[in-house]
Amino acid sequence: MAQITGAQIVAKALKQQGVEYMFGIVGIPVIPIAVHAQREGIKFLGFRNEQSASYAAAAVGYLTGRPGVCLGVSGPGMIHGIAGMANAWSNCWPMILIGGANDSYQNGQGAFQEAPQVETARPYAKYAARPDSVKRLPFYVEQAVRTSIYGRPGACYLDLSGDVITGSVEEEEVEFPPKCPDAPRTAAPQESIDQAMAALKSAERPLVIVGKGAAYSRAEGEVRAFLEATQLPYLASPMGKGVMPDDHPLSIAPARSAALVGADVILLMGARLNWMMHFGQPPRFDKNVRVIQMDINAEEIGTNIPTEVALVGDAKAITAQLNAHVKSQPWSYPSETTWWTGLRKKIEENGAQVDEYMADDSTPMNYYRVYKDIRDFIPQDAYIQNEGASTMDIGRTLMPNFLPRHRLDAGTFGTMGVGLGQAIAAAIVNPDKKVFCIEGDSAFGFSGMEVETAARYGLNNITFIIINNNGVGGGPDELDPAKVPPSAYTPKARYEKMAEIYGGQGFFVTEPSELRPALEAAVASDKPAIVNIMISARAQRKPQQFAWLTR
Ligand SMILES: Cc1ncc(C[n+]2csc(CCOP(=O)(O)OP(=O)(O)O)c2C)c(N)n1
Ligand SMILES: [Mg+2]
């Protein structure tokens, strides 16, 4: 009879549960898990820090609907992976962190890298467990995979002690549960669908907000059919962008503030009324705004303001129900209302101001000038990874998305440092597409070493672009080491030279005329390239009606 080890069982069980990607850093005691994962046909990518690996695991979960795995050693490795778990918790993305742990028979002895790992993972985990035997490992793996994708998606944690990883049992003693199916698509009661449509019909100033929940549930076809049938104005959350193409005539994104404050009825499609949507409260919303809330999670209903109609369940299934209603009782919101006229006027005004900034060819450049060339250069089907403060805020408005799940950014958690891991996730999930990883100089620095990871795995479809203003929201042009402002990084730091460590090409851009040729050469080069673009350290976002976080 043949023996099978814990590591082999974990790898087999993960593969059987539809896990295709594992990211991490090996060491005692997790090396055999990575080795056997590769043998099972799971793609293992060795990273330079578990933080980035954990961000990649969650991004894979968002992009594919099955969790990615982050593998870390006990203690510090696992602790770094918490970064990605917390980000996944906040974004509602499925992932699994597997942490090695000290041998269980040394618990409490001050073992090598011993730490309270399950307890540390718990607040961010939908499920956190320490398997108690080698034999039952497949049970725990199935629980973790299923829990990560059923209900509101999120992070799960498995704590594997050294003796469980290296221990072995008779192969035939081990039972592998069948692959858990994708999450059931739960629909809403017909009564709620009728109420939702009645509420929309009663609106004078309706607004639809499309969130990344709709993107995750792959509701793009249904959402488009619904909006086109009802002719309702919509806007998207940052990563809800692309569920509807940003150039759609029903998009009122450039008039976002006016739309939020003016709406009398809003339909949330997988978007939450959290800080990103200003809690649905004054001064950013009307105090009497009525809410139709579509969400996978019943607990989310009524958060921050009361909900008039709750549509609890899967965005794709429920939007299909709404479409069936509209089909049987056709209705559309008229296009010649004062609401539409006002929104269109606002869109025009805001567009004119941005055009002016984009046309400014002075050196050093401003953000808008830089984004004009980037926007014109990027193919419509490319993945856009974007993070920073102004780099991200301006990038979100200036770089349109045409496809769902093609924008990745700092997300609900506002996490700087997710960029490289997320770009690598996109690049490996879809090797045929281009990925543009557009980072503020600070954002890039959090995980810049992962450029080597991208190159090592031949992810030549990624181009790294750094918008460099010498710091967090800009730094000084010259630095006196005795007086370094908190926000400052080395002025004109030559980040593009990092491409030299793997024989790639770097481009340093200071003039507007150099930008387009640099982007072209970067994409044409045979290794991931880095384009480092200097902008004015004092470049700003165009004046906003509201401060970034309105109290
Ligand atoms: C993990 C983490 N640490 C710190 C912050 C605070 N923070 C917000 S934006 C930002 C960086 C902004 O600078 P940069 O990426 O260079 O973009 P810029 O605004 O300069 O274009 C930082 C550090 C954060 N959001 N996340
Ligand atoms: Mg910066």
Question: What percent of the chain has a predicted confidence (pLDDT) above 70?
Answer: 99
pLDDT in tens, 424-461: 999 999 999 999 999 999 999 999 999 999 999 999 99
CA distance 470 to 440: 9
Residues 6+ apart with CB under 8 A from 200: 206, 230, 232, 265, 267, 292, 333
Query: What is the reported pLDDT for 544?
Result: 77
Confidence of residue 351 (pLDDT cuts 50, 70, 90): confident
Strand partners, 100: 160
Q: In angstroms, what is the span from residue 493 Cα to ligand 2's centroid? A: 11
Residues with a beta carbon under 5 angstroms from ion ligand 2: 440-442, 469
50 pocket-lining for ligand 1 (C-beta < 6 Å): no
- Which residue intervals of 399-500 are DSSP H helices? 419-429, 441-446, 450-456
pLDDT in tens, 312-323: 999 999 999 999
pLDDT in tens, 251-288: 999 999 999 999 999 999 999 999 999 999 999 999 99
DSSP 232: -
pLDDT in tens, 362-401: 999 999 999 999 999 999 999 999 999 999 999 999 999 9
Strands 168-170 and 155-161: unpaired
Question: What percent of the chain has a predicted confidence (pLDDT) above 90?
Answer: 96
Query: What is the reported pLDDT for 547?
Result: 67
Strand partners, 234: 208, 251
Query: What is the reported pLDDT for 433?
Result: 98
DSSP 410: S
End-to-end CA distance of the chain: 67
441 pocket-lining for ligand 1 (C-beta < 6 Å): yes
Mean pLDDT over 161-170 rounds to 98
Strand partners, 294: 269, 311
Query: What is the reported pLDDT for 1?
Result: 75
Give the distance between the most distant pair of CA atoms in the chain.
Answer: 78
Ligand nearest to the CA of residue 442, numbered in listed order: 1
Q: In angstroms, what is the span from residue 358 Cα to ligand 2's centroid? A: 19
Query: What is the reported pLDDT for 548?
Result: 60
CB 407 within 8 A of CB 252: no
Strand partners, 168: 5
DSSP 244: S
CB 398 within 8 A of CB 372: yes
- pTM summary value: 0.98
Ligand nearest to the CA of residue 410, numbered in listed order: 1
Confidence of residue 5 (pLDDT cuts 50, 70, 90): very high
Instruction: Name the strand (E) or helix (H) holding 160.
Output: strand 155-161
Confidence of residue 540 (pLDDT cuts 50, 70, 90): confident
Is the pLDDT at 202 greater than 80? The verdict is: yes
Confidence of residue 549 (pLDDT cuts 50, 70, 90): low
474 pocket-lining for ligand 1 (C-beta < 6 Å): yes
Mean pLDDT over 295-313 rounds to 98
pLDDT in tens, 454-465: 999 999 999 999
CA distance 272 to 278: 10
Task: Name the residue at shortest CA distance from atom 7 of ligand 1.
Answer: 416
Residues 6+ apart with CB under 8 A from 8: 32, 36
Is the pLDDT at 403 greater than 60? The verdict is: yes
DSSP 280: G
pLDDT in tens, 112-136: 999 999 999 999 999 999 999 999 9
Q: How are strands ordered across the β-sheet holding 21-24?
A: 43-46, 21-24, 68-72, 95-101, 155-161, 125-129
pLDDT in tens, 37-82: 999 999 999 999 999 999 999 999 999 999 999 999 999 999 999 9
Q: What is the phi/psi pair of residue 387, to 5°?
A: -150, 160
**C-beta pairs of 294-299 under 8 Å, 24+ apart in sequence:** 294/188, 294/213, 294/267, 294/268, 294/269, 294/270, 294/318, 294/319, 295/213, 295/268, 295/270, 296/151, 296/152, 296/186, 296/213, 296/217, 296/270, 297/151, 297/152
- Which atom of ligand 1 is least distant from the CA of 390? 19
167 pocket-lining for ligand 1 (C-beta < 6 Å): no
Q: For residue 210, give Cα distances in angstroms to 154, 183, 200, 245.
A: 20, 21, 15, 12
* Mean of all residue pLDDT scores within the chain: 97
